[in-house]
C-alpha cells in the first residue's frame, strides 16, 4: 500500500529501525510515525534494545601498518578541533542516507 506524504504528496518509504516503523518522505525529508511508534522510541531511548549493538572494534589487519594510510582532510583542517562526536541513539534511528 502506497502512503502519500501529507506535505508534498510524494510516495513515502517505510523504514524499520530497531522495531520502530518510520514513514519517510524522500522528497521533503519529512518523518512521520504511526500511533504508538513515538512511545516505542521513548522506551528504546531509556532501555536500548539488547539485540541492537554498536559495531564491535576490530583489530587492524597486520598489513595495514605497511600500506600507506589515506589522509582524512578533516584532521588537518584548522576548523577541526578534536575527535568527532559519537552518534546518538536517535541519530542512528533517523539516519536515512
Tell me the residue range of the domain where 4 lies.
Answer: 1-50
- Predicted confidence at residue 11, as pLDDT, reads 92
Task: Judge whether 3 lies within some domain.
Answer: yes
Quick check: is 59 in a domain? Answer: no
Q: Is the pLDDT of residue 4 over 80?
A: yes
Say if 38 falls within a structural domain.
yes
In a domain, 58, yes or no: no
pLDDT tens digits, one per residue of 49-68: 666 555 566 666 666 556 55
How many domains does the chain fold into?
A: 1
Residue 75 — very low, low, confident or very high, per pLDDT cuts 50/70/90? Answer: low
Task: Name the more confident of 39 and 88.
Answer: 39
Q: Is 2 within a domain?
A: yes
Q: Tell me if 75 is assigned to some domain.
A: no
Residue-by-residue DSSP string for the chain: -PPBPTTT-PBPEEEEETTEEEEE-TTT--EEE-TTHHHHHHHHHHS--TT--PPPP-PPPGGGGTSPPPPPGGGG-TT--SPPPPPPHHHHHT---
User: 73 or 41, which is more confident?
Assistant: 41
Amino acid at each position: 500500500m502506497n502512503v502519500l506524504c501529507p506535505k508534498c504528496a510524494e510516495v513515502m518509504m517505510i523504514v524499520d529501525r530497531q522495531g520502530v516503523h518510520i514513514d519517510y518522505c524522500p522528497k521533503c525529508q519529512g518523518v512521520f510515525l504511526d500511533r504508538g511508534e513515538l512511545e516505542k522510541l521513548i522506551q528504546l531511548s531509556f532501555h536500548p534494545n539488547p539485540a541492537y549493538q554498536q559495531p564491535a572494534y576490530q583489530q587492524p589487519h597486520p598489513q595495514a601498518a605497511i600500506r600507506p594510510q589515506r589522509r582524512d582532510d578533516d584532521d588537518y583542517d584548522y576548523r577541526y578541533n578534536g575527535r568527532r562526536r559519537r552518534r546518538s541513539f536517535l541519530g542512528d534511528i533517523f539516519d536515512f542516507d
